[in-house]
């Protein structure tokens, strides 16, 4: 398989899952700042011009964090990346979608890609402030749904990989994580795979 990723991005969560499964895969770095995602050869694989992308053994490309994470969990059930029961699986997807779609897609996106939300540079600071507010509100909601001393659903799951990368972003931006989110982030940092992935992507633990 071939994994298209950008270090320190949402793709870090998928990177963690791939390493947890001990899969053999080739990494292709996509430099978003350089515009690699808009190159013709990349668009031929993923017309959405987004990351992550997993090019599977059959040659088909799978995009979107949630879809890739779900496929990995279902394709390698012995790893128990999903709880395996309908209600618990739904909770995992619920947490993952909120982390990726709302906290990332609505909050952090306004901080990292401000120009996409306004054509006027004079509005940039207001947009970033709105993004930070959305992120903080999002973590407050997540905090109510995390147990604090363990993973999101008891055992490590695809939801934890999604939660981790947004917690990682908050840490790097000095956004204070509420108590349960902070404990979850610290727990994730104790996982050998998580530490190894961060080091591979160029981050100090």
Where are the chain's structural domains?
Answer: 2-79, 86-191
Average pLDDT, the chain: 97
Q: CATH fold of 2-79, please? A: Glutaredoxin (3.40.30)
Helix/strand/coil percent split, the chain, to 5 = 60, 10, 30
pLDDT bin (cut points 50, 70, 90) of residue 56 is very high
pLDDT in tens, 91-125: 999 999 999 999 999 999 999 999 999 999 999 99
Mean pLDDT of the 51-78 span: 97
Return the closest-CA partner of residue 167 out of 154, 146, 72: 146
**pLDDT for 204:** 85
pLDDT bin (cut points 50, 70, 90) of residue 205 is confident
Main-chain dihedrals φ then ψ at residue 83, nearest 5 degrees: -60, -30
Q: What CATH number is given for 86-191 in this structure?
A: 1.20.1050.10
Mean pLDDT of the 40-59 span: 97
Mean pLDDT of the 44-67 span: 97
Are both 2-79 and 86-191 of the same fold?
Answer: no
H/E run at residue 179: helix 179-188
**% of the chain surpassing 70 pLDDT:** 100
Phi-psi region of 20 (alpha: psi -120 to 50; beta: other; left: phi over 0): alpha
pLDDT bin (cut points 50, 70, 90) of residue 148 is confident
The pTM of the full predicted model, rounded to 2 decimals, is 0.95
Mean pLDDT of the 2-26 span: 97
H/E run at residue 196: helix 192-200
Mean pLDDT of the 1-9 span: 97
Q: Are 74 and 83 in contact (CB under 8 A)?
A: no
């Amino acid at each position: 398989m071939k994994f298209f990723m950008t270090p320190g991005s949402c793709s870090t969560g998928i990177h963690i899952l791939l390493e947890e499964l001990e899969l053999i895969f080739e990494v292709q770095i996509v430099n978003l700042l350089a515009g690699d995602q808009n190159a013709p050869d990349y668009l031929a694989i993923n017309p959405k011009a987004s990351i992550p992308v997993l090019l599977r053994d059959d040659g088909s490309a799978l995009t979107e964090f949630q879809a890739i994470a779900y496929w990995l969990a279902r394709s390698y059930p012995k790893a128990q990346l999903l709880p395996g029961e309908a209600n618990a699986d739904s909770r995992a997807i619920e947490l993952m979608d909120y982390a990726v779609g709302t906290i990332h897609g609505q909050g952090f996106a306004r901080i990292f890609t401000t120009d996409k939300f306004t054509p006027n540079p004079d509005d940039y600071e207001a947009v970033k402030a709105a993004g930070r507010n959305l992120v903080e509100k999002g973590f407050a909601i997540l905090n109510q749904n995390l147990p604090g001393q363990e993973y999101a659903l008891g055992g490590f799951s695809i939801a934890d990989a999604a939660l981790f990368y947004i917690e990682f972003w908050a840490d790097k931006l000095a956004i204070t994580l509420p108590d349960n989110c902070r404990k979850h982030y610290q727990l994730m940092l104790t996982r050998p795979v998580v530490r190894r992935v961060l080091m591979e992507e160029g981050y100090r633990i």
